[in-house]
A and B are shown apart, each in its own frame.
Chain A
Amino acid sequence: MSGPLGNSPRSREEGAAPPLLEVKHLSVSFFTDAGEVQAVRDVSFSLKAGEVLALVGESGCGKTALCRSIMRLLPRSGKIKGGSILAGGADIARCGERDMEKLRGRLFSMVFQDPMTALNPVMTVGEQIGEAVRVHRPRASRREVRARTAELMELAGIGRPWERMDLYPHSFSGGMRQRAVLAIALAGEPAILFADEPTTALDVTVQAQILDLFRDLQRRLGTAAVFVTHDLGVVARVADRVAVMYAGKIVETGTAEEIFYDPRHPYTWGLLRALPALSKGRDSLYAIPGMPPNLANPPKGDAFACRNEYALAIDYEEEPPMVQITDTHSAATWLLDPRAPKITPPLGGEARGG
């Protein structure tokens, strides 16, 4: 990783500080009328202080469920079935609701996809930010809370905060609302920020501003972040490390460079090849054939096998193990097994446009 990016995970490893968040073999299921839906299946990853991890995948691959289970904000039907979530010296997977209330906002907080619905329409923006301030400073006076609210709004790039804090969300544009949500999320100076598709609902120009704000704040405040998105362009802009999820599992993880310039999992190839930028001048876009599997009844073996043009016989029988490629890069595919036949990957190797 190059210098200007700053938060190189490798350089932090020498400090041997324990990771901020360590998820081990986490499994989460939703119990619905249609049966048990295994949204997250045996996921392990870690997050170091100050780094941005992007979770990439299609809708329904479990990225949102993963974030919400770490914050313990799953709906009633969702249950953590196994595994552990180690953060702040405790296993969050076993924490009670009372303890979670103390952790939320401080250890981690959250930004959502749709800023239109994330704010309470009948409370002023200032009230909603102030509420978050008060959680962390219960003894603060009204004036102190308002001052801190203004400070947070300014931090999130909302100009003239003193005038705007008394407005209701409906008089804010989409980008402004997302800034307000960001201000709420930052009120408790959290160590980890979960951002679930925070720019998907925004226009490109606004998206660019919010992403830059996000990166700037994240670096200035040293906040670590888990950034959920399906947009690889967004990943390229913000992520230090990337975890690609498919059918409830992490299938490949590595630094942003490794994922973009040397992808190893066929699903990652598919995602990258489907980008219109790579099909310029061609008649058709590359499309991954078929559809993601139904997680109420996941197939035997590798869940991606039936969509994978490089699938081996064993893919239909046994799930591939996670194979370590470098210190930071690993992928779960039988193609990395020494016994696998050699294939020429459709992309990677050459540093595209580098």
Chain B
Amino acid sequence: MAGEVLLDVRGLVHAFPLGRAGSVRALDGLSFQIERGEIYGLVGESGCGKSTAARCVMNLLRPQEGRVLFRGIDTCDPRAFRAGRRLLQRARQLIFQDSASSLDPRMRVWELIAEPLRIQRAAPPRGSFRAEAEFQMKYVGLDPGYLDKYPSELSGGQRQRVAIARALAAEPELLVADEPIAALDVSIQAQIVNLFKHLQAEHGFSFLFIAHDLAMVEFLCSRVGVMYRGRLVEEAPAGELFARPLHPYTRALVSAIPIPDPRRERARRPVEFRGGELPPGGVWTEASPRHFVLLEGREPL
């Protein structure tokens, strides 16, 4: 199902300075592609560079090397960025983990949702900004009765819906969601994940979904990339990846997912993975169709 490539990330390198101790490479040659209409999951342990990748994709950080192509526009090139600014700012939207702190507490819900439109000085497609906000709220399953509420009057799940409605108001093509459900309760998580799935399946939105809850990633994502120390070590369609993990790190990761079934869970033995640096110069190999894995030089499959 090779579709149109919406986002093409090529060889990103980004290092954060660490005082006198040198620097740490958060991204070390990260490459992946997102096709239009798919939910691409990025997983890995904390500190593996997932969030840095999201920030580079959103142009919040400038990678030291590599390129981020969005619909063919090189967003890291200042000239190309300026030329395509309007499109780039509208078509990519970010959803944070902590919606409580990403929503201005002094704005009402409808103002929050309509804000991206105002900033772009776009004429509201549905007459008024308020009507536009109401439309987006229904879209994400929020009662329009909340239009005049402030974020503090909403629950965590409702706030996350407001954040999503706000992102959708700009009519984006790509939604970058950085741990969007980590701060939510189990039953609310399911609601938000269902909403993402609905937006993708029914309305064709594309997602970069970053999460550490692997069970949710397996359920939601079309394809999943596994990051380790700033680069991908494996990438495959979700079902394939979790059923047949190839890279030792992915194996350890998948085997560590707790199973909500006492007998099977207690019989489970997690696979150990000896951490440390990856040997340089691994080979990115297609092990089976659309299933890629980073092979260390000599090691056979």
B258 touches A236 (CB 8 A): yes
Residues of chain B with a CB closer than 8 A to A279's CB: 219
Shortest CB–CB separation between residue A62 and chain B, in angstroms? Answer: 14
Residues of chain B with a CB closer than 8 A to A203's CB: 45-46, 212
A237 touches B266 (CB 8 A): yes
B219 touches A280 (CB 8 A): yes
Q: Which of B186, B216, B219, B263 contacts A58 (CB 8 A)?
A: B186
B219 touches A204 (CB 8 A): no
Q: Does B283 lie at the interface of the complex (its beta carbon under 8 Å from any beta carbon of A)?
A: no
A275 and B194 contact, Cβ closer than 8 Å, known pairs A233-B258, A236-B262: no
Q: Does A260 lie at the interface of the complex (its beta carbon under 8 Å from any beta carbon of B)?
A: yes
Shortest CB–CB separation between residue B2 and chain A, in angstroms? Answer: 23
B266 touches A204 (CB 8 A): no
Q: Does A328 lie at the interface of the complex (its beta carbon under 8 Å from any beta carbon of B)?
A: no
Would you list which residues of chain A between 232 and 277 have a CB under 8 Å from chain B?
A: 232-237, 239, 256-257, 260, 270-272, 274-277
Interface SS, A side: helix
Would you list which residues of chain B between 211 and 268 have a CB under 8 Å from chain A?
A: 212, 214-216, 218-219, 252-253, 255-266
A236 touches B197 (CB 8 A): no
Residues of chain A with a CB closer than 8 A to B186's CB: 58, 230-231, 271, 274
Q: Does B31 lie at the interface of the complex (its beta carbon under 8 Å from any beta carbon of A)?
A: no
A206 touches B45 (CB 8 A): yes
Q: In whole angstroms, what is the CA distance A126 to B92 when docked?
A: 48
Among the 9-residue stretches A158-166, A281-289, A329-337, the one with 4 or more Cβ atoms under 8 Å from chain B is A281-289
Beta-carbon nearest neighbor of A212 in chain B: B270
Shortest CB–CB separation between residue B167 and chain A, in angstroms? Answer: 21
A205 touches B155 (CB 8 A): no
Beta-carbon nearest neighbor of B220 in chain A: A276
The 6 A-B pairs at the shortest CB distance, nearest first, are namely A233-B258, A287-B190, A276-B219, A236-B265, A203-B45, A288-B187
25 A-B contacts (beta carbon < 8 Å): A5-B266, A58-B185, A58-B186, A58-B187, A59-B185, A204-B212, A204-B253, A205-B252, A205-B256, A205-B273, A212-B270, A230-B185, A232-B260, A233-B215, A236-B261, A236-B266, A260-B262, A271-B187, A276-B219, A277-B259, A280-B219, A285-B193, A288-B187, A354-B261, A354-B263
